[in-house]
């Protein structure tokens, strides 16, 4: 199927969180109709979409009905089963291919595919039992990190192992399932490259983004990481290699570490728009969500040039601990933009929205976005 899916057609989004919401915003701006498949009603994507099917991802009949009703399917939720992706593919194009999703869902498959593509990662070992874990710790050394092979996000399903004595507790804490053990990278910085590949193989990327995490959750992202030219080129080449090796049509994000020697290592992949790419909505003429839409629909890709230094700060549910954040105070700086995802319940650690700021320099953008976020917390009354 190489005919483009043109404006006026219906885009189907499997999943219904903030990534789908921002994709739906791009799609509606370009005149598409949007139908989201969501396990819950009034979801972040459903609030923007023309239609919201509420059903479980395991309900393959519902998936087929949904796919029949739309002109192209993409996903924003990574843990869609292969069976669901295949059911959708019986009725029209699914992009990226279900196989890409299947690969990235599981840290074993993903790491092996990266290694097979000749790409550098932290040292790792697949472990299926406590005995295998102990052997892997002996081989990789400490410190290391144990991660569940599937269903991890925002540092969930991970346990750090500082000495071999931590092994039993770590194995129990991740539920003792199939897992991967990784050597801890003493990184100088965390980076990401958000890239897009069109149906005809055309490729673009948004350069290298610097990411700062707090408690394993992304906190701040800044466009144009301060790397030397060779490192920047290398990071973008790594993303290109992944896109080609996996034959991705759509957006994919490569998370990277740069270690103390300046070497780049791949941490993990996300076969979809990524939290670190949210700043492209304001920073670039055509955002990561615009690229996703264009790639999925078989249209030419857009301009990813960064217009101004831009930084993004996540808004987690913790900011609601003492009541509604002070939106007026954050928006007092006209350089600041607010994005809220329409989630009713502000739980701790839950991504509720983000702020961006553009300014004359990177440092200035970071300072302004952080200041705006700090202003959200009301001074408690004496
Ligand atoms: N091997 C590692 N060495 C050092 N830090 C790591 C390693 N793996 C993960 N981390 C830290 O934990 C964060 C979350 O881990 P990640 O593998 O990206 O899982 P997810 O984002 O799916 O929760 C990373 O961004 C990084 O800060
Ligand atoms: Mg990650």
Question: How far is ligand 1, taken at its centre, from the CA of residue 217, in Å?
Answer: 9
192: nearest Cα among 118, 282, 111, 252:
252
Ranges of H-type helices in the chain? 18-29, 60-69, 82-89, 98-104, 107-116, 130-140, 167-173, 229-245, 280-283, 288-296, 327-330, 362-375
Give the global pTM.
0.96
226: nearest Cα among 99, 363, 118:
363
Question: How far is ligand 1, taken at its centre, from the CA of residue 296, in Å?
Answer: 29
Distance CA 379, CA 366 (A): 22
Which atom of ligand 1 is least distant from the CA of 184?
Answer: 3
- The pLDDT tens digits of the residues spanning 266-315 come to 999 999 999 999 999 999 999 999 999 999 999 999 999 999 999 999 99
Task: Indicate the fold that domain 123-183 takes in CATH.
Answer: Dna Ligase; domain 1 (3.30.1490)
What is each CA distance from 213 to 155, 173, 222, in whole angstroms? 10, 22, 12
CATH architecture of 187-375: 2-Layer Sandwich (3.30)
Question: How far is ligand 2, taken at its centre, from the CA of residue 321, in Å?
Answer: 25
Question: How far is ligand 2, taken at its centre, from the CA of residue 255, in Å?
Answer: 7
How large is the average pLDDT for residues 318-344?
97
Quick one: which ligand is closest to 216's CA?
1
| pLDDT recorded at residue 283 | 97
Ligand 1 site-directed mutation target among 111, 267, 270, 349, most atoms within 8 Å of CB = 267
219: nearest Cα among 155, 293, 287:
155
Quick one: which ligand is closest to 122's CA?
1
Distance CA 319, CA 321 (A): 6
How large is the average pLDDT for residues 319-343?
97
CATH architecture of 10-94: 3-Layer(aba) Sandwich (3.40)
Residue nearest atom 15 of ligand 1, based on CA coordinates = 155
Only one residue has tokens 């599981």, namely 106
**Is 26's pLDDT higher than 80?**
yes
Q: What are the structural domain ranges in the chain?
A: 10-94, 123-183, 187-375
DSSP letter for 275, please.
G
Residue nearest atom 12 of ligand 1, based on CA coordinates = 216
Question: How far is ligand 2, taken at its centre, from the CA of residue 219, in Å?
Answer: 12
| pLDDT recorded at residue 177 | 84
- The pLDDT tens digits of the residues spanning 59-71 come to 999 999 999 999 9
């Amino acid at each position: 199927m190489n005919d483009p899916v043109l404006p006026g057609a219906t885009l189907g989004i499997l999943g219904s969180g903030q990534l789908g919401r921002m994709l739906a915003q791009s799609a509606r701006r370009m005149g598409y109709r949007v139908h989201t498949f969501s396990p819950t009603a009034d979801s972040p994507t459903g609030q923007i979409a023309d239609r919201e099917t509420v059903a479980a991802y395991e309900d393959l009949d519902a998936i087929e009905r949904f796919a029949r009703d739309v002109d192209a399917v993409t996903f924003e939720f990574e843990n869609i089963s292969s069976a669901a992706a295949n059911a959708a593919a019986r009725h029209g194009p699914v992009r990226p291919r279900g196989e890409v999703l299947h690969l990235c869902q599981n840290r074993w498959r993903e790491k092996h595919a990266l290694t097979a593509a000749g790409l550098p990662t932290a040292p790792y070992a697949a472990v299926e039992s406590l005995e295998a874990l102990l052997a892997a710790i002996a081989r990789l050394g400490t410190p290391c990190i144990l991660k569940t092979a599937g269903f991890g996000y925002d540092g969930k399903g991970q346990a750090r192992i500082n000495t071999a004595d931590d092994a039993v507790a770590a194995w129990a804490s991740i539920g003792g399932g199939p897992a991967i053990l990784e050597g801890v990278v003493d990184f100088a910085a965390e980076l990401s490259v958000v890239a897009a590949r069109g149906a005809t193989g055309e490729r673009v990327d948004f350069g290298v983004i610097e990411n700062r995490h707090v408690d394993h959750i992304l906190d701040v992202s800044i466009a144009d990481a301060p790397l030397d030219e060779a490192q920047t080129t290398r990071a973008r080449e790594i993303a290109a290699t992944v896109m080609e090796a996996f034959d991705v049509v759509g957006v994919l994000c490569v998370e990277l570490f740069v270690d103390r020697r300046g070497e780049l290592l791949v941490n993990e992949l996300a076969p979809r728009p990524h939290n670190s790419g949210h700043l492209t909505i304001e920073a670039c003429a055509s955002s990561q969500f615009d690229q996703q839409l264009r790639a999925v629909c078989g249209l030419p890709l857009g301009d990813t040039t960064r217009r101004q230094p831009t930084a993004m700060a996540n808004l987690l549910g913790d900011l609601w601990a003492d009541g509604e954040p002070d939106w007026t105070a954050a928006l007092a700086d006209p350089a600041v933009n607010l994005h809220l995802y329409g989630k009713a319940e502000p739980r701790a650690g839950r991504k509720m929205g983000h702020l961006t700021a553009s300014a004359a320099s990177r440092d200035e953008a970071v300072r302004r976005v952080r200041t705006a976020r700090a202003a959200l917390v009301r001074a408690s009354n004496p």
